[in-house]
Amino acid sequence: MPVALADICLLAGAVVLAALGGETFLRAIVGASGAFRVPKAVVATTLAACATSSPELTVSTVAALSGSPQIGLGDALGSNVANIALIFGLALLFAPVRADAGALGADYKLALFAPLLTFLFLMDGVLSRAEALLLLAVFAGWLMWTLRAVRASRADARDTGAPHLPAGRIALLGVAGLACLVLAGRLFVLGASGVAASFGVGGYVVGVLLVAFGTSLPELVTVLLSRLRGHDDIGVGTLIGSNLFNGLAIVGVAGLIHPIAVPRAEVALTLACGITALLLLRPNAEGLIGRGRGVLLLSLYAGFVWGTLQ
């Protein structure tokens, strides 16, 4: 069956919007760093991660309200694997990333702890509302701790080296950039689904390979552009923060709306791959994440897709 021209146009439009939105959103992140006098990595871990996780939040909330919270759980946890294994793996192919292991700090440790807590809650096959509320409480505690740390460090971060933009312009850039990224993700999912249908690919495969990728498109563009612009700290911070938002806030919201019943075996592989990807993200003793890690991360993602489809 021939591929429809409309699907090709949707994919092309998604690429253009992603490039435009990513550049605009990155300028907003850097500008916010200068305006708030906080490190770019902190802005990336909080504001940027929250914004780029908005597609997952939308999917999870709508799915839970419609009585299918398993879709939201799968999208949130699957996006965490895609964020690190696929997106950061691709970014590492360009060049090694220099990162300070100490700077990752509590955010990195919590990102490792969150999937373990989720698996513990799902041992009985159900994520209850009480357990979902506990995930949200952990997320709220992390957010409060982060904001307190930011306020304590502002006096020592008078100049972050970022351009000083008016607050209104930063907000406009952020909203416009994020809107383009979210729309690009939606167009990509629609176009790719049409192409997949033309080749007779089933709906489950489309969901695993395309919907999760589409909702991770904001992170992909943000990370790749931050690499090209020399802001590696923004890329790493966005991915770790996005993992925390997905694993704690988004899963928590979905479970609070509707308890999530899912077999342990279905989430065990996803959570295990997510933890493995995070461990591969940790810099070596020289503060470097080499290209070899990128190959391992991409191999991990390929194995995750293969294992999910079995």
- 78-90 tens-digit pLDDT: 888 988 999 889 8
Domain boundaries, the chain: 5-309
In the CATH scheme, what is the code of domain 5-309? Answer: 1.20.1420.30
d(CA 193, CA 211): 9
User: Do 48 and 241 touch, CB atoms closer than 8 A?
Assistant: yes
What are residue 108's phi and psi, to 5 degrees? Answer: -65, -45
- Flag residues of the chain having pLDDT under 70: 1-3, 15, 18-19, 22-23, 25-26, 29-30, 32-48, 51-52, 54, 59, 62, 100-104, 150-165, 185, 189, 192-193, 195-197, 199-211, 215, 231-233
d(CA 150, CA 172): 23
pLDDT, one tens digit per residue, over 241-271 is: 888 888 998 899 889 998 988 878 778 888 9
Supply angle C-alpha 24, 29, 32, rounded to 5.
120
pTM of the model: 0.76
d(CA 34, CA 94): 27
